[in-house]
Amino acid sequence: MSRSYGMSLKITGHNRAKRDEIIEAAMGEWDFDGDCIEDRDTDDEKINLGEGYGVLSFRESDDKFVDRVSKAVMQANGGPCVVEVGVICYENAPQEFHTRDQEFWDGLKED
**pLDDT for 3-26, tens place per residue?**
899 999 999 899 989 999 999 999
Q: Is 40 helix (H, G, I), strand (E, B) or coil?
A: coil
Residue range 20-44, pLDDT digits in tens: 999 999 999 999 987 676 656 666 7
Contacts of 53 (CB under 8 A, 6+ apart): 4, 5, 6, 7, 31
* Domain total of the chain: 1
pLDDT band at 108 (very low <50, low <70, confident <90, very high): confident
Determine the pLDDT at residue 58. Answer: 85
What integer is the mean pLDDT of 65-91? Answer: 94
* Cα 71 off chain centre by: 16
This prediction has a pTM of 0.79
Pairing mode of beta strands 82-89, 3-12: antiparallel
We report the CATH number of the domain holding residue 64 as 3.30.70
Domain that residue 44 falls in? 3-110
Dist. CA 29–CA 24, nearest whole Å: 9
